[in-house]
Chain A
Amino acid sequence: MNGIPILTLLTLLPVVGAAIALFSGRHARAVALATTLAGLALALTVWTQLPGDGSMGLVERAAWAPSLGIEYHLGADGLGALMLVLSAIVTLMSVDAAHRVHHQPGLFFALVLLLQAGLFGSFTALNFFHWFLFWELSLIPAFFLIKIWGGPRRGPAATQFFVYTMAGSVALLLAFLAVFLSTGSMDFGQLAALAATGGLEQAVTAHLGPVTMWLAVGVLAGFAVKVPMAPFHTWLPAAYAEAPSPVTMLLTGAMSKMGVYGLLRIALPLFGHQIAQMRTPLLVLAVLTVVMGAWAAAAQKDLKRIFAYSSVNHLGYCLLGIFALAKPAVDAAAQASQAAALNGVILQMFNHGLTAATLFWFVAMMQERTGGERGIDHFGGLRKPAPVLAGLMGIALFSSLGLPGLNGFVGEFLIFRGVFPLAWVAATVSILGLLVTAAVILTVIQKVFSGPVPEHWAKFPDMHGRERLALAPVIGLMLVLGLVPQLIVDTVNPTVVNLLAHWRF
């Protein structure tokens, strides 16, 4: 606990920015840009201030409503800080991409910033109330962003998005209520420590009966909808497709990570034993997510839907990694595999966020140039008129595919490295997903960029200076992280080791 409450500031910054942006009219984007840049700076500061041993740093605590176990408790470790940086980057990208918002720009950017506040809040919260507050609050801006600025079928998409997520939230809330009732605490750290000794299960059984498994299911359900895990994913394609592309960037880049983060911060520490008992069916679902996501992507014709399903696929790898490591480690090799898997999951979270956001950014650019076209069959041979676009997007696409040398590879590699020894069947079947994804990506490249150029695309404008300037750092980051992943792993690994040491399966 040092003097300046950086984490509180970090969370408040976008709120203030939102208030200013709301009334800034045409200048709202500038305000939002400034705010997100400042947010990025703060997030990076947090990243550098982390303690080296992987424990929780920059902790802030204050009493809030003690009788209910509600405490203002914030902190950041490697996992949380990485997510903060990711959120900051993705939001910045999103704001940058949203330079054609004509209808109520003040409101648009205010909602985006509020969403970012929700992200920051939930990634730093260490008490259930605070965390749930921001979890729920992030829903509202997302809903309205889809509802007001979305595509032709935005109404049902937004509603479905909202209803699914709310249903999951209710399950989460009820499960946590039960936990609170049994233990009197809502603090993640306390509860994790309790669970590590088996005390949580004892307390729950003592107070409520043998319902710990049900609580675990409830918690899982809440996150399953958010990640999403098949079969709770059906809201995602519609929402991603109908949302305006900058919003989709946010949704896929950061919001989806809230679900995975929740699994890592809450589900595994508290209900590790129960998850281990359910490991097989969960692995099945994870594999299903991976494979089905890829197959479905292959069947799509709309670029946004392709990438949407591809997101499901990529997040499926995270799920695979998480559920695979949920078993008691019998020896050092197993422990190493767990560490690898967890590192992979976290890296994948970051890398996928970055890559997916970039991909949707490119889709946005293409839409602008073509008046809204997104079908892959409509394009063709764009390599000729727009080589820079093709090149940069190609890099992003290959990263999504998992080409070594780009950031997308490292996470997937580590996950498979960890999962194979721990659950080789699941890993083997998931390879299918890899293969299909490769096919999908290559098809996209082929259909969009290569081949003969149709007449009407001959004058397809290439990326101009400002766009190149904006995208260069991102693509550069992909390359750098692909070649030097230690930049992230060095900070994340201690946290991984720390977490694994405290989890009991």
Chain B
Amino acid sequence: MLAWTIYLSFAGALVEALLPKGKATLARWLALTVAVAGLALAAAGFAAGMGHGRVTIVDAAWVPSMGIHFLLAADGISLVLVLLTGLAAVAGVLFSWNVEMRTNEFFAFYLALIGGVYGVFLSFDLFLLFVFYEIAIVPKYFLIAIWGSTRREYGAMKLALYSFVGSAMVLIGLLAAYATSGSHSTGLVALAHAGLPVSFQMWAFPLVFTGFAILAGMWPFHTWAPTGHVAAPTAASMLLAGVVMKLGAYGCLRVAISLFPRGLDPWGFSFAGIGSWRDVFAVLAVVGIVYGALVALAQTDFKFVIGYSSVSHMGFVLLGLVTLNQIGVTGAVLQMFSHGVIAGLLFAIVGRIVYDRTHTRQLAELEAMHLSKRLPFAAWAFVIAGMASMGLPGFSGFVAELQVLVGAWIARPWWTMAAGVGIVVGVAYTWRALQKAFFSDALPSPHVLEYEQGHGFAPITWPEIAGVSLLVMASLVVGLYPKILLDAIEPAVKVLLAGGGQ
């Protein structure tokens, strides 16, 4: 049943592409229907699959001579991420309700991207996972290049090339693993049990991990993220930060860590406290957390603040992954969900609600606009989103970050301290953005005064309200009752850490 999330999305994309031009309303409603159907399926699949371990959904021989199967399966981690995709998809469609130019093509690319993402989260065959991973690249390019804003062509190309380079690295690892294991099968489970030699894993792990981590925004390969997010149209940035970056982290977990666990072992020598790939990536993750936060603090463009904050939050995810303990990895997966929802919300507010009305993202200009009075919905939505992003208890981010910190402490205490710094700076930049953009007491600029004489801002539309509500609810529910997701994630993580991709 979960496989239909994939099929429906691609079918929807095809139908959208074939729609005649000018049928914008039809295109929107069709996209919304497909997205909601996907979410419903994801939720149903989540409810049904909880507590059952890994469930195989589809297993068809694809290229039997090479042992490649069209294998779709889901364990707790996949279910949670599929649910996230469903939520993000629906929210993205709602926040793109005002796209007027080439609407059907927009939603065609959008649904194709969603389909690819569902595919990655549900694939349990490495080749299939890679195929879906790559499929997601091209729609991203076009979404940004055609409907984006600041420096969109450059941002789109940079994103596409970085993603492609990352996936090239993964492909090399995949080919090498396949060949080294005897070229029998590309199933994740089979490869995990193939007994790949330690020396092989020692170089395959960093290669594949880095390949996926590029898409996850790991420092120093993160530079595509702020540029790309800023260039992208709202729905695309929501998806990019919310879901696509999670593809990278998921790949790190599902592929790199599961297939090449020995690659994380100590090298036998250590250099400045770094004695294994695990240490290396932990350092990079922590640097990403702190660097992302500090740079976000210095930004003058509202969207850049959020873009860099995504880099910082993804650093948390990566840190949680390399702790390699139950609580840390669970926290990482929960953070994937939490940040997915929150980042979507933040970009939606900044892009759709604010920018589409004010036509500026410069904090200095927004300061003079007194948005808390003129766009109260945006202001309060951002307060809630900001609280969630800061990791305030009651929202999903708190529990996730808590778990990552605990997991990091168990692994290496100094990681926790550095990460804690990131949290504190995170409060600071969110606060700064909130103050400057919405609650500033600066004098209104002449530009604003004359605008006010003319007309106010366009009223908030129902899709915006629906989208914000959906995402806020999701974060609140998980924040107040994390068990709902933890019950799915924890057993899956346990299995993964024990048997390597079983």
Which residues of A sit under 8 angstroms from B394, Cβ to Cβ? 133, 136-137
Are A137 and B372 in contact, with the CB atoms below 8 A? no
Which residues of A sit under 8 angstroms from B383, Cβ to Cβ? 140, 144
**One of A67, A147, A166 near B490 (C-beta < 8 A):** A67
Are B392 and A137 in contact, with the CB atoms below 8 A? yes
Are A174 and B486 in contact, with the CB atoms below 8 A? no
Knowing A65-B483, A170-B420, A170-B424, say if A147 contacts B431 (CB, 8 Å).
no
Knowing A170-B423, A177-B409, A181-B410, say if A68 contacts B392 (CB, 8 Å).
no
Chain A positions 119 through 150: 1 when the CB is less than 8 Å from some CB of chain B, otherwise 0: 00000000001001100110010001001100
B435 at the interface (CB under 8 A from A): yes
A162 at the interface (CB under 8 A from B): yes
In chain A, positions 196-249 with a C-beta closer than 8 Å to chain B are: 208
User: Could you tell me the distance between the alpha carbons of A155 and B435 in the complex, rounded to whole angstroms?
Assistant: 9
Chain B nearest CB, measured from A55 CB (Å): 28
**One of A64, A162, A167, A181 near B431 (C-beta < 8 A):** A162
B17 at the interface (CB under 8 A from A): no
B405 at the interface (CB under 8 A from A): yes
Which residues of B sit under 8 angstroms from A159, Cβ to Cβ? 431, 435
Knowing A148-B372, A174-B420, say if A65 contacts B393 (CB, 8 Å).
no
Are A181 and B420 in contact, with the CB atoms below 8 A? no
User: Could you tell me the distance between the alpha carbons of A64 and B440 in the complex, rounded to whole angstroms?
Assistant: 39
B34 at the interface (CB under 8 A from A): no
Knowing A133-B393, A136-B393, A140-B383, say if A68 contacts B410 (CB, 8 Å).
no
In chain A, positions 36-87 with a C-beta closer than 8 Å to chain B are: 63-68, 70
| Chain A residues touching B, majority SS | helix
Interface residues of A, count at CB 8 A: 29
In chain B, positions 361-408 with a C-beta closer than 8 Å to chain A are: 372, 383, 387, 392-394, 398-399, 402-403, 405-406
In chain B, positions 406-457 with a C-beta closer than 8 Å to chain A are: 406, 409-410, 413, 420, 423-424, 427, 431, 435, 439-441
Closest-by-CB residue of B relative to A132 is B393
Chain B nearest CB, measured from A130 CB (Å): 9
Can you list 7 A-B pairs with a CB-CB distance of less than 8 A? A68-B399, A129-B393, A133-B394, A137-B393, A177-B402, A178-B409, A180-B406
Closest-by-CB residue of B relative to A178 is B409
Are A140 and B387 in contact, with the CB atoms below 8 A? yes
Closest-by-CB residue of B relative to A155 is B441
Are B486 and A67 in contact, with the CB atoms below 8 A? yes
Are B483 and A64 in contact, with the CB atoms below 8 A? yes
User: Could you tell me the distance between the alpha carbons of A163 and B435 in the complex, rounded to whole angstroms?
Assistant: 13
Query: With contacts defined as CB atoms under 8 Å apart, how many contacts are there between chain A and chain B in the complex?
Result: 63
Besides A67-B330, A129-B393, A177-B402, 19 new A-B residue pairs in contact (Cβ under 8 A), listed by A number = A63-B483, A64-B483, A65-B482, A65-B486, A67-B486, A68-B327, A68-B399, A136-B393, A136-B394, A140-B387, A140-B392, A155-B441, A166-B427, A167-B424, A170-B420, A174-B420, A181-B406, A181-B409, A181-B410
Chain B nearest CB, measured from A294 CB (Å): 33
User: Could you tell me the distance between the alpha carbons of A67 and B403 in the complex, rounded to whole angstroms?
Assistant: 10
Chain B nearest CB, measured from A109 CB (Å): 15
Which residues of B sit under 8 angstroms from A167, Cβ to Cβ? 424
Closest-by-CB residue of B relative to A180 is B406
Which residues of B sit under 8 angstroms from A137, Cβ to Cβ? 392-394
Chain B nearest CB, measured from A85 CB (Å): 25
User: Could you tell me the distance between the alpha carbons of A194 and B440 in the complex, rounded to whole angstroms?
Assistant: 48
Which residues of A sit under 8 angstroms from B405, Cβ to Cβ? 177
B203 at the interface (CB under 8 A from A): no
Are B439 and A136 in contact, with the CB atoms below 8 A? no
B462 at the interface (CB under 8 A from A): no
Closest-by-CB residue of B relative to A166 is B427
B62 at the interface (CB under 8 A from A): no
Which residues of A sit under 8 angstroms from B330, Cβ to Cβ? 67
User: Could you tell me the distance between the alpha carbons of A163 and B429 in the complex, rounded to whole angstroms?
Assistant: 12
Are B393 and A177 in contact, with the CB atoms below 8 A? no
User: Could you tell me the distance between the alpha carbons of A133 and B413 in the complex, rounded to whole angstroms?
Assistant: 25
A-B complex: 10 closest residue pairs judged by Cβ atoms: A133-B393, A65-B482, A65-B483, A155-B441, A133-B394, A136-B393, A136-B392, A132-B393, A137-B394, A166-B427
Chain B nearest CB, measured from A397 CB (Å): 34
**One of A133, A147, A177 near B439 (C-beta < 8 A):** A147
B481 at the interface (CB under 8 A from A): yes
User: Could you tell me the distance between the alpha carbons of A65 and B330 in the complex, rounded to whole angstroms?
Assistant: 13
Which residues of B sit under 8 angstroms from A136, Cβ to Cβ? 392-394
User: Could you tell me the distance between the alpha carbons of A155 and B440 in the complex, rounded to whole angstroms?
Assistant: 8
User: Could you tell me the distance between the alpha carbons of A65 and B490 in the complex, rounded to whole angstroms?
Assistant: 11
Which residues of B sit under 8 angstroms from A66, Cβ to Cβ? 483
User: Could you tell me the distance between the alpha carbons of A166 and B387 in the complex, rounded to whole angstroms?
Assistant: 12
Which residues of B sit under 8 angstroms from A132, Cβ to Cβ? 393
Chain B nearest CB, measured from A23 CB (Å): 13
Closest-by-CB residue of A relative to B413 is A208
Which residues of B sit under 8 angstroms from A133, Cβ to Cβ? 393-394, 398
Most buried by A among B393, B441, B490: B393
Chain B nearest CB, measured from A148 CB (Å): 7
Are A68 and B402 in contact, with the CB atoms below 8 A? yes
Chain A nearest CB, measured from B273 CB (Å): 18
Which residues of B sit under 8 angstroms from A68, Cβ to Cβ? 327, 399, 402-403, 482, 486
Closest-by-CB residue of A relative to B481 is A64
In chain B, positions 458-486 with a C-beta closer than 8 Å to chain A are: 481-483, 486
User: Could you tell me the distance between the alpha carbons of A66 and B439 in the complex, rounded to whole angstroms?
Assistant: 39
Which residues of B sit under 8 angstroms from A70, Cβ to Cβ? 399, 482
Chain A positions 164 through 198: 1 when the CB is less than 8 Å from some CB of chain B, otherwise 0: 00110010001001101100000000000000000
User: Could you tell me the distance between the alpha carbons of A212 and B327 in the complex, rounded to whole angstroms?
Assistant: 23
User: Could you tell me the distance between the alpha carbons of A180 and B399 in the complex, rounded to whole angstroms?
Assistant: 13
User: Could you tell me the distance between the alpha carbons of A64 and B327 in the complex, rounded to whole angstroms?
Assistant: 16
Which residues of A sit under 8 angstroms from B410, Cβ to Cβ? 181
Which residues of B sit under 8 angstroms from A67, Cβ to Cβ? 327, 330, 486, 490
Which residues of B sit under 8 angstroms from A162, Cβ to Cβ? 431
Chain A nearest CB, measured from B186 CB (Å): 34
Which residues of B sit under 8 angstroms from A64, Cβ to Cβ? 481-483
User: Could you tell me the distance between the alpha carbons of A166 and B424 in the complex, rounded to whole angstroms?
Assistant: 9
Chain B nearest CB, measured from A182 CB (Å): 10
